[in-house]
Amino acid sequence: MGIEFIKIIPSFLAGVSVLFMGAPVLGEMVATRAPWFSARASYSPRELGLSFEEVSFRNEDNLLLRGWFFPAETECAPAVLYAPPTSSDQRSGLPMVEMLHDAGYSALLFSYRGHGESEGDPWGFTYGAAESRDVDAAVRFLKEQRGVERIAAVGHSAGAVAVMLSAARNPDINAVVAASPFVSIESVWQTNRPSWIPQGVNDLYLHLAELRKGFSRMDVNLLEVISRISPRPVLIVHGENDRRVTLEQARAIYQSAQAPKTFWLLEGVNHHRVRELVLGGLSGRVVNFLDGALSK
């Protein structure tokens, strides 16, 4: 009996090792997977009672991206596009549409590749790397197919990173509102690393995610590119109680940005609440920033 028990020890240890290695990898896949989508769900644009169009456009990888366009009452109005956070799609931007419409703006809500009804791998989220290219495509759609001359981009978390990366190389984005952006992929992985996972193992998990999804952590480092957005204005919003993205990261991003730039620190606010306030409770202040940034 003792000998048989000894024989199974290696198999038991191997199983524990596989579980130790596999569980966080699986957790990352689930946490970043695109949510189930239905345009006819109760949370839909039809609830707003505003005119909108179901639109589509292709990104540089020839994937068809889909979304909703809410036209302003005047044809020459500026437009605001919204970039969702991790594991979210175009629906997450619906709370801001009414306030933008009342302020005279058109609005574009769209889903990244693999999200919503857009084409692509629903397991392929890249923390803003590929998603920023989808923001590029959304800007081209507004410029070329809707004739919009002035464009602002609003994003939360990974969406904030995506709009900043896009704006750094895309002069057609005239203003940026970035809620809770993180400095880099490594920084957000480090901040959200469970205490029981050693740093070396965490790095291995990130490397596996890079291989599986086909991106490089070097593709996302805001400190290297944010200065290129100037002289277009940037608004950075961060929650004092954010545990997903540290305040030090937000301050580092702000310090690296060039004028004109604005920083709002929301006292007692966590990561998710920042998005709710930017899209809702702080809508008046956000509109004032957009009005000034777009010379409306």
Q: What are the residue ranges spanned by the domains of the chain?
A: 48-293
Res. 166 pLDDT band, cuts 50 70 90: very high
pLDDT at 13 over 60: no
Q: 48-293 — its CATH code? A: 3.40.50.1820
Q: Check whether the bond before 260 is cis (ω within 30° of 0).
A: yes
Q: Is the dihedral of CA 16, 185, 129, 148 positive or negative?
A: positive
Query: What is the per-residue pLDDT for 19?
Result: 42
Query: Can you tell me the mean pLDDT for 148-169?
Result: 97
pLDDT digits (tens, 9 = 90+) for 26-53: 667 777 877 777 655 556 898 899 999 9
pLDDT at 22 over 70: no
Helices (H) and strands (E) in the chain, counts: 10, 8
3-state secondary structure of 57: strand
Strands 234-239 and 261-266 come out as parallel
pLDDT digits (tens, 9 = 90+) for 204-229: 888 888 998 999 999 999 999 999 99
pLDDT at 247 over 80: yes
Mean of the per-residue pLDDT values for the chain?
A: 88
Query: What is the per-residue pLDDT for 27?
Result: 67
Query: What is the per-residue pLDDT for 193?
Result: 77
Query: What is the per-residue pLDDT for 1?
Result: 47
Least confident interval from 194-198, 210-214, 268-272: 194-198
The residue written with tokens 């456009």 in the block is: 57
pLDDT digits (tens, 9 = 90+) for 77-105: 999 999 999 999 999 999 999 999 999 99
User: Which runs of consecutive H residues, i.e. helices, occur in the chain?
Assistant: 2-32, 97-102, 129-140, 158-169, 185-191, 199-213, 222-225, 247-256, 271-276, 283-293
Higher pLDDT, 195 or 137: 137
Strands (DSSP E) contained in 59-116 are 64-70, 79-83, 106-110
Res. 7 pLDDT band, cuts 50 70 90: very low
Higher pLDDT, 13 or 72: 72
Query: Can you tell me the mean pLDDT for 161-166?
Result: 98
pLDDT at 133 over 60: yes
Q: Whole-model pTM?
A: 0.88
pLDDT at 62 over 90: yes
Query: What is the per-residue pLDDT for 105?
Result: 97
Higher pLDDT, 157 or 188: 157
The residue written with tokens 């609830």 in the block is: 47
